[in-house]
Amino acid sequence: MSPTKKDHHNVSKPGRRTFLAGAAGAASATLLSRQQGAAEPSSEVEATAQAIDFNQSYGHYFGKESNVWVRVQLECRCEIFDRSKEQSEEYLLSVRTQTGLRTDPLSDIRDPGYDFWFIFSDRFVYIRRELASSYGDSSSRVPFEKFNNCGWHLHRAPAVELTDGAMIREALREWKPVVARTVFTSADGMRGFSIEYPVKWADGNTDNSFRVETGPVVLLDPERVEIGKSPELDDFQWAYLDYRSLDKTKVFLEQPTPVLSGTLWQYGGFRNQQLTPEQRESIEQRLYSGWEPPIGVDDLKTVFMRNHYSTADQRTATTQLYSFV
């Protein structure tokens, strides 16, 4: 199968049969890694599927206000679908990067540094910008009309499905890139979304059990999302996945979290221990009451928030794992 190419001037709607597995990192199994304990390669396996090689998959845009063509690597494909309408739409998450363009002299007031991600879709480029606090949020949703051209390139390569723990362990021990496709559906089973992503962290054990811990991925709510209605930036859920089977997954959802909600590390011995509820309440009372803050109290509270996962949601899902041949 040839690579999938897409831009503002040549938009090809994804078909409902294009839900193939996501793809992954660089080739491995070098002489050095083999000396460090890699398993000997097994006999060659014939490819049974196509999977996205994210190492060769990119989002791109060419802005109207500057003569710069931008390419950014992709690391998650999210496709929403409606089986009753036989329609689907896709969203492509880029890797995270940090701005390198700053004023001279540096000024965190005029030009604060920030991390940012892109989500490419048929109608918009979503840009998430994360500053030192969520109070300084400057995320945006930019329509395609603001660019000369915009889109993405997905590179698919031959792959084989890993159907049990033994195959997963063997692929990991042979240093093969492993990719995954996970499908979440609505309660009635008619709507949902699939995500395709590289597996960056995984266990392959001698008893043929396995565990995948990976991310980031971008999720949507299958009960709320509608084909043809572009989501707002806040509709996307930023998450990591943790699963030991192919029929359910633990989802670590990122959300604004008070900086005072520290956690006692299970191994102990660390200098900064968890605050007690009484200590937190005392600090918050001092911060948010008894004075006239320069901004509203609700806005002041957001200054003391950060974005990180703080909830673990066990969800029913169907996952397929693949390795490249």
- Give a yes or no: residue 233 inside a domain: yes
Tell me, what's the pLDDT at 318?
A: 96
Neighbours of 189 (CB within 10 A): 9
- Give a yes or no: residue 105 inside a domain: no
Tell me, what's the pLDDT at 41?
A: 47
The token pair at 22 is 């996501």
- Together in a domain, 164 and 264: no
Position 72 pLDDT exceeds 90: yes
Tell me, what's the pLDDT at 286?
A: 92
Comparing 273 with 290, which gets the higher pLDDT?
290
List the single range of 1-10, 91-100, 236-245, 246-255 with lowest mean pLDDT: 1-10
Highest average pLDDT, of 142-146, 153-157, 262-266, comes from 153-157
* pTM score: 0.80
Number of domains in the chain: 2
- Together in a domain, 140 and 166: yes
The token pair at 183 is 């499908």
- Together in a domain, 295 and 202: no
CA 50 to CA 181: how far, in whole Å? 12
Band (71; pLDDT cuts 50, 70, 90): very high
- Together in a domain, 313 and 201: yes
Tell me, what's the pLDDT at 112?
A: 77
pLDDT digits (tens, 9 = 90+) for 163-175: 999 999 999 999 9
Position 8 pLDDT exceeds 80: no
Strand, coil or helix: 113: coil
Band (135; pLDDT cuts 50, 70, 90): low
- Give a yes or no: residue 104 inside a domain: no
Share of the chain above pLDDT 70, in %: 81
Eight-class DSSP state of 189: S
Eight-class DSSP state of 152: E
Per-residue pLDDT, averaged over 65-87, amounts to: 92
Position 37 pLDDT exceeds 50: no
pLDDT digits (tens, 9 = 90+) for 252-285: 998 888 887 665 555 556 666 677 888 888 999 9
- Together in a domain, 294 and 317: no
- Compute the residue count for the chain: 325
- Give a yes or no: residue 177 inside a domain: yes
- Together in a domain, 221 and 248: yes
- Together in a domain, 206 and 294: no
b vs e for 233-263, b when ≥16 Cβ sit within 10 Å of the residue's Cβ? eeebebbbbbbeebeebebbebeeeeeeeee
- Together in a domain, 281 and 136: no
- Together in a domain, 181 and 317: yes
- Give a yes or no: residue 216 inside a domain: yes
- Give a yes or no: residue 81 inside a domain: yes
CA 37 to CA 210: how far, in whole Å? 19
- Together in a domain, 123 and 62: yes
Q: What is the mean pLDDT of the chain?
A: 82
Share of the chain above pLDDT 90, in %: 52
Beta strand residue intervals within 64-209, DSSP E:
69-82, 87-94, 97-98, 115-120, 124-130, 140-143, 147-154, 156-162, 178-185, 191-198, 202-204
Comparing 188 with 134, which gets the higher pLDDT?
188
- Give a yes or no: residue 203 inside a domain: yes
Q: What sign for the dihedral angle of Cα 191, 128, 211, 50?
A: positive
Token look-up 């990976």 returns 214
The token pair at 46 is 């014939």
Position 119 pLDDT exceeds 80: yes
Comparing 185 with 272, which gets the higher pLDDT?
185
Nearest to 59 by CA among 14, 121, 141: 121
Tell me, what's the pLDDT at 270?
A: 63
Comparing 270 with 94, which gets the higher pLDDT?
94
Tell me, what's the pLDDT at 32?
A: 34
- Together in a domain, 177 and 269: no
Q: Residue 19: give the domain boundaries.
A: 4-98+110-256+309-324
Asked whether the beta carbons of 242 and 117 are under 8 A apart, the reply is no
Q: What are phi and psi of 278, to 5 degrees?
A: -65, -40
- Together in a domain, 140 and 237: yes
Nearest to 319 by CA among 166, 199, 189: 199
Comparing 109 with 188, which gets the higher pLDDT?
188
Per-residue pLDDT, averaged over 137-157, amounts to: 91
- Give a yes or no: residue 123 inside a domain: yes
